[in-house]
């Protein structure tokens, strides 16, 4: 019998136990790929929100790790526009609201100026774009409109205010498709935050040395003062650095990995249990193999390869299940405006190698145990 036939025979001879082990590994890998994939997708969506529009710098209150908690005087935007190298500045106000009648919570509500370049990337599917005189107007993303069952021309109550839906838009980004947009002045009045914004999105001129330009403008923004000579207390951060440092993203990633580690430990224990039982049941077989000349290293490889085969099959099933689960979640109204329907290939590769690690860790002790069985002792075993 060839070496690979030993591996396949031992794995498929105990079908129920092998299937349960594969299932355990698959669930562990699915948890890793799905949870880490969702957290990674959230970061990619957040970063894409700015990078696709060419935003180079985000200006928020210094020390604020959460965009929603930032508060900056709107007049700062005028000073930023006057800096050399700045092509466009868009102030923005963000908050979250709930629509209890549709069982929707933490829906993102954005306030933009009527002339903001942020509108340029929205495709109007129904109705029209917001105008400067739409004090009681709101635009809904296509996902939010579907969840609410609303169309252009209908009214919508938002935080005890009555608004007319002037348009339904589609964005390149799922976060925006699940949000609503109104004039910044309307949102300031609704949330009782007069002349305040959460931050500014800054686009710089295209120059050969863009990195140096970003650093120069960033330093200039951080040094801006009020007319009374007091620092504004603001911080300009390059887009990618800001997204990476956002507390919500860091928390989502930490929670994803904490949950995944628990699932992985369960997977390792499952593989360990299966392989150690296999070694005990095959004591006589292993003794015969050792007696006819098999080296310890070959016995180790036999058991580890069996363990890896179980993990690889479980990994493939787990990754496929995670991809399907992530896509299915995009149809669940409570989260479909927050997550992407795809899993990055890097996350799937990560999940596959984690499954290999589970197989190696789960099979390490059984392989050691099997390799150190004495042939005479094993041959006496019944």
Indicate the length of the chain as a whole number. 382
* Cβ-defined contacts of 143-151 (< 8 Å, 24+): 143/174, 143/177, 143/178, 143/336, 143/337, 144/104, 144/107, 144/177, 144/178, 144/179, 144/180, 144/337, 147/102, 147/104, 147/178, 147/333, 147/336, 147/337, 148/99, 148/102, 148/104, 149/102, 151/126
Q: Distance between CA atoms of 303 and 298, rounded to whole angstroms?
A: 9
Positive or negative, the CA dihedral 334, 178, 197, 127 is: negative
Q: What is the pLDDT of residue 367?
A: 81
Q: What is the pLDDT of residue 185?
A: 94
Q: Distance between CA atoms of 53 and 87, rounded to whole angstroms?
A: 13
Q: Is 216 exposed, middle or buried (0-12, 13-18, 19+ CB in 10 A)?
A: middle
Q: What is the pLDDT of residue 126?
A: 94
Report strand pairing: 196-197 vs 123-127.
Answer: unpaired
Averaged pLDDT in 10-residue chunks for the chain of 382 residues: 63 74 85 85 83 91 70 92 94 89 86 94 94 94 92 91 95 90 94 91 92 93 89 90 77 79 82 78 72 78 83 90 86 70 86 87 82 67 54
Q: What is the pLDDT of residue 34?
A: 87
Are the C-beta atoms of 207 and 27 separated by less than 8 Å? Answer: no
pTM: 0.76
Q: What is the pLDDT of residue 205?
A: 92
Instruction: Look at the block and give the residue holding tokens 């899993």.
Output: 343
Q: Give the number of other CB atoms < 10 A from CB of residue 213.
A: 18
Q: What is the pLDDT of residue 286?
A: 72
SS3 69: helix
Q: Give the number of other CB atoms < 10 A from CB of residue 263.
A: 20
Q: What is the pLDDT of residue 127?
A: 94
Task: Quickly list H helices, the chain.
Answer: 3-13, 15-51, 76-81, 142-148, 174-177, 184-190, 210-222, 239-245, 247-281, 283-291, 296-329, 345-371, 375-380
For residue 120, what are the contacts with CB-CB under 8 A and spacing of at least 6? 53
Q: Distance between CA atoms of 269 and 284, rounded to whole angstroms?
A: 25
Q: Distance between CA atoms of 338 and 107, rounded to whole angstroms?
A: 9
Report strand pairing: 104-112 vs 137-141.
Answer: unpaired
69: Cα within 13 Å, side-chain hemisphere: 8
């Amino acid at each position: 019998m060839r070496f690979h036939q030993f591996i396949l025979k031992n794995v498929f001879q105990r079908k129920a136990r092998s299937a349960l082990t594969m299932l355990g590994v698959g669930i562990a890998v699915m948890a890793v790929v799905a949870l880490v994939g969702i957290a990674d997708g959230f970061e990619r969506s957040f970063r894409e929100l700015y990078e696709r529009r060419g935003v180079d710098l985000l200006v928020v209150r210094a020390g604020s790790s959460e965009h929603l908690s930032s508060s900056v005087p709107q007049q700062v935007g005028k000073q930023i526009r006057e800096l050399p190298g700045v092509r466009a500045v868009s102030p923005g106000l963000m908050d979250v609201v709930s629509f209890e009648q549709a069982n929707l919570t933490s829906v993102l509500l954005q306030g933009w100026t009527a002339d903001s370049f942020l509108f340029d990337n929205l495709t109007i599917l129904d109705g029209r774009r917001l105008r400067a005189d739409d004090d009681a107007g709101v635009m809904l993303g296509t996902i939010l409109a579907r969840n609410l069952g609303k169309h252009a021309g209908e009214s919508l109550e938002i935080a005890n205010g009555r608004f007319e839906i002037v348009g339904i838009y589609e964005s390149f980004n799922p976060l925006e498709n699940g949000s609503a947009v109104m004039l910044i002045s309307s949102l300031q009045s609704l949330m009782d935050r007069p002349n305040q914004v959460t931050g500014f999105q800054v686009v710089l001129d295209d120059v050969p040395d863009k990195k140096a330009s970003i650093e120069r403008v960033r330093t200039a923004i951080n040094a801006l003062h009020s007319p009374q000579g007091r620092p504004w207390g603001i911080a300009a951060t390059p887009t990618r650095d800001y997204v990476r440092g956002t507390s919500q993203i860091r928390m989502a990633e930490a929670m994803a990995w904490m949950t995944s580690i628990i699932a992985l430990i369960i997977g390792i224990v499952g593989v360990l249990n299966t392989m150690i039982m296999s070694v005990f049941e095959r004591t006589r077989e292993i003794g015969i193999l050792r007696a006819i000349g098999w080296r310890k290293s070959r016995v180790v490889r036999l058991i580890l390869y069996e363990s890896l085969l179980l993990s690889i099959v479980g990994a493939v099933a787990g990754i496929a299940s995670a991809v399907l689960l992530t896509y299915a979640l995009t149809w669940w109204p409570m989260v479909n405006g927050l997550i992407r329907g795809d899993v990055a290939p890097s996350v799937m590769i990560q999940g596959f190698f984690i499954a290999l690690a589970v197989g190696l860790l789960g099979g390490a002790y059984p392989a050691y145990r099997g390799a150190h069985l004495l042939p005479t002792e094993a041959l006496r075993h019944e």
